[in-house]
Structure 1
Amino acid sequence: MKLQNILIIKLRHIGDVLLSTPVLRGLRTAFPQARLTMLVNRGTEGVLANNPDVNEVLCLEKGSWDTQLKYVQMLRRRGFDGVVDLTDGDRSAVISLATGAPVRIGFNAEHRWRGLLYSRVAKPRQTDQHRVDYDLCALRALGLDTKPGAPAVYPSPTDEQAVATWMQETGLLSAQSSQLLILLQPGARYSLKVWPHERFAQLADRLADRFACRILLGGDQREREVAEHVARKTRCAPIVVAGKFSLLQFAALVKRCALFVGNDGGAMHIAATMGTPVVALFGPTYPQRWGPRGGPSQVIYKGLDCRACYHQTCLRGDESCMQQITVDEVCTAAGRMLDRAPARIET
């Protein structure tokens, strides 16, 4: 099978899009001359910037029915001969069919009607395999090799320089500064995935005292208030960087850090992809499927299976999965990771 114009669809969040990048690498290897276009939700496209395996990134329009119809008609005019839908959702399956592409690969884990809209349904070998490996099963459905792949993100020299300039201005990058940098990520997209803010504050102070390090508090613009709240509860005067950098600038920043500690989310995946040692805090999500891929990592997970319900409010109260993670065990895990890895500040 030889494809020349392929649409890849991933209508999820930042971490999901990043974890799908090994599929892009596999398609580029198999079809080096093909045009690869990726369709994502707006707000996630930044993680694909500078990726050499994709020619174009499109953001889905979600306005009125008329707007959506015109958008789908635009996709149809593109003349795709293949669609690889990595979303596992009904909307993307309809879009796949509407493109008119003769080859349409997609997932149907829920055994819904959407399976009828694909020319072939990708079937993972294991139910609970990691999402990277799960997505790569789409290549097998195309008759391609499914060698293990690692997610990739590509900060540009401009991104690197922006971070270096900021570090110089804040005194973190100078001949006199030799402190370790540790980035803590206290926010998350869903409240059930969040470790208590006061524990992040306690962790920040203990790490600063033990390792004479400088603490950064990360997050996007929506999580800046959370980061500032944590900062106010500390003694060590951490630097709040939440909302300050683009996705690729954040990648350039976290690459310079000796350690990342945070909840399951896109920032965790970016840190792991950049090779930064990671301590990942998991609660209602399943680390076997969503754990960090890339650099050295340690996952802290209590094994309380919330997947069957995943309510917006947890019925366990103080015994919830995230509440059971203590400051002591996170600090111990952080110490082990720092003992194994050198500082990563570089010019």
Structure 2
Amino acid sequence: MSKTAAPSILVIRRDNIGDLVCTTPLIHALRERFPKARLSVLVNSYNRPVVENNPDIDVIYAYMKAKHREPGQSVLGVIWGRVQLMRELRRQRFDYAIIAGAHFLPRGLRLARAIKPKHIVGFTEPGKRGIEHIDTGVTYTQPQPLHEAEDVFRLLAPLGIDGEPPALRLFPAAAAVASAQSALREKHLALDKLIGVHISARKPLNRWPAENFADLIRRLHQAHGADFMLFWSPGSAANPRHPGDDEKAQQIMDAVKDIPVLAYPTDSLDQLIAGLAQCRAVVCSDGGAMHIAAALGKPILCFFGKSDKTRWYPWKVPHVLLQPPSLNVADIGVDDASRAFDQLLARSVRKNSGAEAKMD
């Protein structure tokens, strides 16, 4: 297909925050290759802020999962909304639907088939039932370990796009940015020395103890004169459906009362994106927040537990990754984290030719 072609393309990515963030290089490459294309994405309602405001995308379609429904909204209403969305997607008569995920994905294929595009692009695996419905397929093999962004990017080969994926891309909402900046001004925090510290992690083995975070904040403040934004998923840890880190955050805030720290619980993804966008560097565990920070171009000190560091490290940004032999981030010492942050600053300085990345 030539660069002057104007196909209608739907990129389908239906899973977690980090997965969708790691698909933004694919989306950008499509726009660069086909500037006249009608480029749409299908995501879930929770992840939608990841692709909002992205200039590469013409239309965003989002379906709601039952677990993400609003208070008072029925499961039946969620199902009816999906039915209406599918009707709208079929009316668009897409030329290509791209099932943007690693491996052969039967659920993604069922969704693509229901939309009835002219062509379906996706990974195929020998012997898997239904692969005959993917007419523009890429056989899934991994000759070497690949980052998620690299792996998914291989789906573009049939469309004439190859090479290394570009950087991740994310664009904060203006209203959320204004709110974050207002909160920082009220606390008189310095943006040029602001470190974001995200303390929540979905996986138990990725959770660093509260006392370690507090100790690290104190050390970085003493060494670099840094100010901080403290991010976490709000709610009580005792909530079985939506556990949060309110108690952990309070423990940290109590321990660093004499240090300039803005407590910034994020009820929405918009808030998290906009808050991280204000920071000069970020400390966090592997997870969605880490990939958001990478998409915002932030240097990152990241803690990995039982996660594949080859596949999920921060893509194309300066970073230092700590993963203990036990695969439990609780075994990462504060001394190690403090030294790693100094290494991160040095790498950032080298990338930015010196002064721009310095914090002290």
* Counterpart check, 1:219 vs 2:232: yes
Paired amino acid for 2:159:
L
Alpha-carbon deviation of 1:264? 0.6
Q: Say if 1:268 and 1:282 are closer, same or farther in 2 by CA, change over 3 A.
A: same
**1:280 aligned residue:** 302
Alpha-carbon deviation of 1:48? 1.1
**1:294 aligned residue:** 316
Alpha-carbon deviation of 1:102? 2.1
Paired amino acid for 1:184:
V
Contact residue 25 and residue 53 of structure 1 kept, 8 A: yes
Which of 142, 164, 174 in structure 1 is aligned with 2:159? 142
* Counterpart check, 1:116 vs 2:132: yes
Alpha-carbon deviation of 1:272? 2.0
**1:79 aligned residue:** 93
* Counterpart check, 1:202 vs 2:215: yes
Alpha-carbon deviation of 1:163? 3.0
**1:311 aligned residue:** none
* Counterpart check, 1:242 vs 2:249: no
Paired amino acid for 1:195:
W
Which of 276, 280, 283 in structure 2 is aligned with 1:261? 283
Q: Say if 1:236 and 1:271 are closer, same or farther in 2 by CA, change over 3 A.
A: farther
Return 5+ residue gaps in structure 1 as ranges. 305-318
Q: Say if 1:131 and 1:117 are closer, same or farther in 2 by CA, change over 3 A.
A: same
Q: Say if 1:256 and 1:71 are closer, same or farther in 2 by CA, change over 3 A.
A: closer
Q: Say if 1:210 and 1:29 are closer, same or farther in 2 by CA, change over 3 A.
A: closer
**2:180 aligned residue:** 163
**1:308 aligned residue:** none
Paired amino acid for 1:263:
S
Whole-angstrom CA distance in 2 between matches of 1:40 and 1:97: 16
Paired amino acid for 2:253:
A
Secondary structure of 1:28's match?
A: helix
Please list, as runs of the form range in 1=range in 2, the aligned pairs for 1:307-322 lying within 5 A after superposition: 319-322=326-329
Q: Say if 1:345 and 1:271 are closer, same or farther in 2 by CA, change over 3 A.
A: farther
Alpha-carbon deviation of 1:257? 2.5
Return 5+ residue gaps in structure 2 as ranges. 66-74, 236-243, 350-354
Paired amino acid for 1:73:
R
Alpha-carbon deviation of 1:67? 5.2
Which of 329, 332, 337 in structure 1 is aligned with 2:336? 329
Contact residue 180 and residue 274 of structure 2 kept, 8 A: yes
User: 287-296 or 215-224: which moved more?
Assistant: 215-224
Q: Say if 1:338 and 1:166 are closer, same or farther in 2 by CA, change over 3 A.
A: same
1:314-347 deviation digits (Å, cap 9, x = unpaired): xxxxx4532332211111101222355467799x
**2:43 aligned residue:** 40
Whole-angstrom CA distance in 1 between matches of 2:314 and 2:114: 35
Secondary structure of 1:107's match?
A: strand
Contact residue 185 and residue 263 of structure 1 kept, 8 A: yes
Alpha-carbon deviation of 1:22? 1.0
Secondary structure of 2:61's match?
A: strand
Contact residue 94 and residue 114 of structure 1 kept, 8 A: no
Contact residue 139 and residue 146 of structure 1 kept, 8 A: no
Secondary structure of 1:240's match?
A: strand
Contact residue 3 and residue 82 of structure 1 kept, 8 A: no
Q: Give the aligned CA root-mean-square deviation in angstroms.
A: 2.9
Paired amino acid for 1:7:
L
Q: Say if 1:47 and 1:221 are closer, same or farther in 2 by CA, change over 3 A.
A: farther
**2:241 aligned residue:** none
Contact residue 26 and residue 165 of structure 2 kept, 8 A: no
Paired amino acid for 1:16:
D
Q: Say if 1:61 and 1:239 are closer, same or farther in 2 by CA, change over 3 A.
A: closer
Contact residue 281 and residue 300 of structure 2 kept, 8 A: yes
* Counterpart check, 1:30 vs 2:30: no
Paired amino acid for 1:46:
P
Task: Give aligned pairs, total.
Answer: 326
